[in-house]
Amino acid sequence: MISNTLLFLLLIAGFVGAGVIVLRKIPQLASLPEEIITPKDKFLPKTVERVKKVSFLKNLSFEGFLQKFLTKIRIYILKIESRIFQYLLHLREKGKIKKKLEKDNYWQRIKNQTREKENK
């Protein structure tokens, strides 16, 4: 109970701290110009042009590449899902066998308990 209360207080303190930081930075953010050119904006078009100049990459289609990539990911996900399903079936079978064994031992346990009571 104490640990839950402590964790809750730490969570609230974290939110308050983040709020204080945001409130302190609002004036600085407001003073920034609306359009800022980032290095990424300069880098990406130059890189795309360089890649297009390479002979074997001229005919490369981004959509085709993306389609192949997503298809491979889908296949891997389906394989993983199949393995998980097989494991789940195996666990269910183990559970059924365990229940059967427990039922089979039920009367033996009753006999043992009555014998223990008689011996006392």
User: What is the predicted pLDDT for the residue at 66?
Assistant: 87
Residue 38 lies in a domain: no
Q: What percent of the chain has pLDDT over 90?
A: 32
Residue 49 lies in a domain: no
Residue 22 lies in a domain: no
Q: How far apart are CA 42 and CA 52, in angstroms?
A: 17
Residue 107 lies in a domain: yes
User: What is the predicted pLDDT for the residue at 79?
Assistant: 96
Distances (CA, A) of 96 to 84, 90, 93, 101, 109: 18, 10, 5, 9, 20
User: What is the predicted pLDDT for the residue at 3?
Assistant: 79
Tokens 């289609």 sit at which residue?
61
56 with 50: CB under 8 angstroms?
no
Domain count, the chain: 1
Residue 15 has pLDDT above 80, yes or no: yes
For residue range 43-79, list pLDDT tens digits in order. 667 777 776 676 666 666 778 888 999 999 999 999 9
User: What is the predicted pLDDT for the residue at 77?
Assistant: 96
Segments forming the whole domain that contains residue 115: 59-119
Q: Which positions ≥6 away from 51 have C-beta within 8 Å?
A: 57
Which pTM value belongs to this model? 0.39
Work out the end-to-end distance of the chain between its first and last CA atoms, rounded to an integer number of angstroms.
43
Residue 24 lies in a domain: no
Residue 31 lies in a domain: no
